[in-house]
Amino acid sequence: MVAFTKMHGLGNDFVVLDERAAPLGLTPDLARRIADRHFGIGCDQLISLEAAPGADVFIRIRNPDGSDAGACGNATRCVASLIAAETGQRQITVRTIAGDLPCTILRPDRVVADMGAPRLGWHDVPLAEAMDTLALPIAEAAAACSMGNPHATLFVDDIAAVDIGKDGPLLEHHPIFPERANIGFAQILAPDHIRLAMWERGAGQTLACGSGACAAIVNAHRRGMTRRRATISMPGGDLILEWRESDGHVLMEGPVATAFTGSFAL
Ligand SMILES: N[C@H](CCC[C@H](N)C(=O)O)C(=O)O
């Protein structure tokens, strides 16, 4: 039997598997089956912990469609809290394929993750051809950046008027995004408050997305719509984001929770 921990950040939920001692031999098909909410355990992302010399842990991030992701803000905070509970450390470095992310444990259920610096060039996202990442030709007000994974933020007047289940998948698969993209619909409520709804690449609509919240503050500030620090309210709750002026890193503060633990036969 394989033990798992079911965690979430703002309802963005994860099956966390510990592969530090030995790999489980997961394949995209197995990942899809574990992530299935009816025939499996169910989650927005499947997270594998792996040993990481020089960091506290490496996380491999898989979507419910079996694809890999380079970043996951909510899982980064969740895993940091898990490792902190094991080690008693207050500072945890979570390694991802996109880099090392230093995390600070504020409380057992509240973590700040340094998500690193966004990448703002069209080829970084990536986009299909050279263009201004602040003005994508897919909507009136749309901007893109990479947080280690591709994000587009569409600024809308009223999120309630958006048909996310229709527009989300169309934009995720738009030819402008050769690796697809995570799509955020953002409504500016105040210079320090953004409402955000997410359509995630490979996962669909989720209650929250940490890297999407990072992209929202970066893109909103670049467009002159917000300050560098804001509360991002998503259906699952609030994150506090700061795009730090001194080094350009994005800091994300928010809650983490363990829902339950269990085991299953692979
Ligand atoms: N939920 C995650 C992001 C998952 C991104 C994934 N859907 C991708 O393909 O990049 C977060 O909290 O940042």
Contact present, 202 and 45 (Cβ < 8 Å)? no
Q: Is ligand 1 within 6 A of the CB of residue 172?
A: no
Give the pLDDT confidence score for residue 253 in this predicted structure: 98
43 is catalytic: no
Mode of pairing for the β-strands spanning 150-155 and 91-96: unpaired
Residue 89 has pLDDT above 90, yes or no: yes
78 is catalytic: no
Domain residues of the chain, as ranges? 2-112+254-264, 142-248
The phi and psi torsions of 181 (rounded to 5 degrees) equal: -160, 155
Residue nearest to atom 1 of ligand 1 (CA): 209
Secondary structure (DSSP) of 230-266: EEEEETTEEEEEEE-TTT--EEEEEE-EEEEEEEE--
Q: How far is the CA of 62 from the centre of ligand 1 (A)?
A: 9
Give the pLDDT confidence score for residue 125 in this predicted structure: 98
Give the pLDDT confidence score for residue 171 in this predicted structure: 98
Tens-digit pLDDT profile for residues 164-223:
999 999 999 999 999 999 999 999 999 999 999 999 999 999 999 999 999 999 999 999
- pLDDT mean over 95-106: 96
Q: Which DSSP state fits 20? A: S
Q: Which one from 43, 103, 209, 214 is the annotated catalytic residue?
A: 209
Cα–Cα dist 225/85, whole Å: 39
Residue 140 has pLDDT above 90, yes or no: no
Cβ neighbors of 52 (< 8 A, separation 6 or more) are: 58, 95
Mode of pairing for the β-strands spanning 193-200 and 229-234: parallel
Residue 225 has pLDDT above 90, yes or no: yes
Residue 154 has pLDDT above 90, yes or no: yes
Residues in the chain: 266
CA 156 → CA 187, 194, 199, 221, distances in Å? 5, 11, 14, 15
Among 80, 59, 264, residue whose Cα is nearest residue 46:
59
Q: Which one from 72, 78, 103, 214 is the annotated catalytic residue?
A: 72
Kindly indicate whether the domain formed by 2-112+254-264 is annotated with CATH number 3.10.310.10.
yes
Q: Is ligand 1 within 6 A of the CB of residue 210?
A: yes
Residue 157 has pLDDT above 90, yes or no: yes
Q: Strand (E) positions, the chain?
A: 2-9, 12-18, 45-50, 57-62, 68-69, 91-96, 99-107, 110-114, 142-146, 150-155, 182-190, 193-200, 204-206, 229-234, 237-243, 250-255, 257-264
Cβ neighbors of 187 (< 8 A, separation 6 or more) are: 155, 156, 157, 158, 159, 194, 195, 196
Shared fold status for 2-112+254-264 and 142-248: yes
The CATH number of 142-248 is 3.10.310.10
ipTM above threshold 0.95: yes
CA 210 distance to own-chain centroid:
4
Plot region of 167 (φ>0 → left; ψ -120 to 50 → alpha; else → beta) = alpha
Q: How far is the CA of 71 from the centre of ligand 1 (A)?
A: 6
pTM, whole model, 2 decimals? 0.97
As to burial, measured by CB atoms within 10 angstroms (0-12 exposed, 13-18 middle, 19+ buried), residue 65 is middle
Q: Could you tell me the pLDDT band of residue 128, with boundaries at 50, 70 and 90?
A: very high
Tokens of 134: 């602040």
Q: Is ligand 1 within 6 A of the CB of residue 5?
A: no
